[in-house]
Amino acid sequence: MGGKKGLLFDVTLCIGCGACYEACKERNRLPRTVAHFLDDQLSDRTYTVVKKRGGRFIRQLCMHCEVPTCVSVCPVGALEKTATGPVIYHEARCIGCRYCMLACPFDIPKYEWGKVLPRVRKCDLCADRLAAGRPTACAEVCPTGATKFGDRQALIEEARARIRARPQKYVPRIYGLEEVGGTSVLLLSDVPFERLGYRTDLLSEPLPLLTWQVLQKIPDFVVVGSVLLGGIWWITNRRREVQIREREERKRRGASEEVSRDPSASGFVGPSQEEE
Ligand code: SF4
Ligand code: SF4
Ligand code: SF4
């Protein structure tokens, strides 16, 4: 099956049923982590979440960037952008440096802190299913078509057509068309994306390309000094952010392990009315 694949998530069609969340857990054999799916966070045991934000239900998952920063910073090629779209992970190559976690503009890759041989974990756009000519598990189960699988270009055309057909309804923007050079996961909404918690401060050029262009045009001694200082500042700050999140994740893991031991938490629970 040739061509680049992707997902179109239309916020206006999502009813917050959580079927995509459950299907992802099942396909990836991931354990239950919270009593109610709307309370879950992305982690090494949860690759996609549904959240209530800005009066809408939204999804979070790896965006499968066209030129992924996570791939460009990995020193051993453990992450790879495949020809059909998925950004996949080769765990045998991974040395656990976690640069991908620092570099991802969407804060997606998570680490298996609780394991003796930890791996980086994230959505792989169901690469094995795509290779077999099947849609992603989350798109297959979505009852409303809010998550739609298809050729990336066809999804872009469809998103444009939906905006054209209902200009009063939709924000005139396809999120993921340009952000960081484009992503395989595309979003449509009837409210501004910042109200839904999506980053709207991202450049339209791929982050790895920007780094490369800057390095090409600046004399070596300036590059060495400024990139080093800028890099140290950025990595220090990003590392601090990641450390804070890691601490929260460990705390949450303690709480969720108690949940998973609670037999009353084993069933599927419907959507909560609370926003984050
Ligand atoms: S969203 Fe993050 S983890 Fe996913 S491909 Fe882009 S940079 Fe990599
Ligand atoms: S594409 Fe597959 S791995 Fe990614 S969120 Fe959907 S079901 Fe999970
Ligand atoms: S399965 Fe579809 S409608 Fe249900 S929460 Fe996921 S995207 Fe929304």
Instruction: Evaluate: CB of 20 within 6 angstroms of ligand 3.
Output: yes
Instruction: Evaluate: CB of 141 within 6 angstroms of ligand 2.
Output: no
R_g of the chain computed on alpha carbons? 19
Average per-residue pLDDT for the chain: 84
Give pTM, 2 decimals. 0.81
Ligand 2 pocket test: pick from 22, 28, 50, 128 the residue with the most ligand atoms within 8 Å of its Cβ: 28
Report how far ligand 3's centroid is from the alpha carbon of 111 (Å): 26
Is the pLDDT score of 73 beyond 90? yes
pLDDT tier, 231 (very low <50, low <70, confident <90, very high otherwise):
very low
Distances (CA, A) of 254 to 44, 49, 241, 247, 266: 14, 19, 20, 11, 17
pLDDT tier, 224 (very low <50, low <70, confident <90, very high otherwise):
very low
Q: Tell me, what's the pLDDT at 147?
A: 98
Whether 73 and 211 have beta carbons less than 8 Å apart is answered as: no
Report how far ligand 2's centroid is from the alpha carbon of 24 (Å): 5
Query: What number of helices (H) and strands (E) belong to the chain?
Result: 9, 9
Specify the ligand 1 atom closest to the Cα of 79: 8
Per-residue b or e along 97-128, where b marks 16 or more CB atoms closer than 10 Å to that residue's CB: ebbbbbbbbbebbbbeeeeeeeebbbbbbbbe
Q: Tell me, what's the pLDDT at 114?
A: 87
Range list of β-strands (E), the chain: 5-10, 49-53, 56-60, 79-81, 87-89, 110-111, 120-121, 147-151, 185-188
Q: Tell me, what's the pLDDT at 2?
A: 62
Is the pLDDT score of 21 beyond 90? yes
Question: Could you tell me what percentage of the chain is helix, strand and coil, using 3-state DSSP and rounding each to the nearest 5?
Answer: 40, 15, 45
Q: Tell me, what's the pLDDT at 189?
A: 98
Q: What digits encode the pLDDT tens for the residues 108-164?
A: 999 998 899 999 999 999 999 999 999 999 999 999 999 999 999 999 999 999 999
